[in-house]
Amino acid sequence: MSKGTKKFAVGTVVAAAAGYVAGMLTAPKSGKETRDDIKRAAERTYGAAEKELKALHTELNKLMEQGRSKASELKGTAKDNLDKAIESAKTAKEKTRDLLSAVHEGDADDKDLKKAVEEANKAVEHLRSFLTKT
């Protein structure tokens, strides 16, 4: 190890130690308090996501029922397109239900939550727009 590399390594260790000490001395809360804050924030986030997923699940049920009713009146391409929109909504609804179960069990991942909410929102908007057009 060269002399410059040793100085750099020692300097890095000293700077890291100084940063750690400064952080400990200036931290507004203890580690336990900070962890509790993080835990509460995570619980609020999951709670909000769960509420949104439940609302989307209910909305999808309602729109799918309206779509099925409307599909019985349609024929041809319009009926086929509505059937596809209903099938897409059904898939999004199933994912939403599965993710709600995962949230209750504590197995939900942030990426999965975000993706399920986005897919359910898209399905709701697609079905809504189709139902208003026909």
Which positions ≥6 away from 52 have C-beta within 8 Å? 117
Residue 125 has pLDDT above 70, yes or no: yes
pLDDT for the residue numbered 109: 73
pTM over 0.95: no
Q: Could you give the angle at the alpha carbon of 121 between the alpha carbons of 115 and 88, nearest 5°? A: 85
What does the alpha-carbon distance between residue 23 and residue 58 come to, in Å, rounded to a whole number? 47
Largest CA distance in the chain: 85
Round the CA-based radius of gyration of the chain to a whole number and report it: 26
Residue 2 has pLDDT above 60, yes or no: no
What does the alpha-carbon distance between residue 39 and residue 45 come to, in Å, rounded to a whole number? 10
DSSP for 44-70, please give it. HHHHHHHHHHHHHHHHHHHHHHHHHHH
Residue-range domain boundaries for the chain = 3-133
The amino acid occupying position 88 is S
pLDDT for the residue numbered 20: 73
Percent with pLDDT over 90 in the chain: 1
Contact 108, 68 (CB under 8 A): no
Per the rule left: phi > 0, alpha: psi between -120 and 50, beta: everything else, 117 is alpha
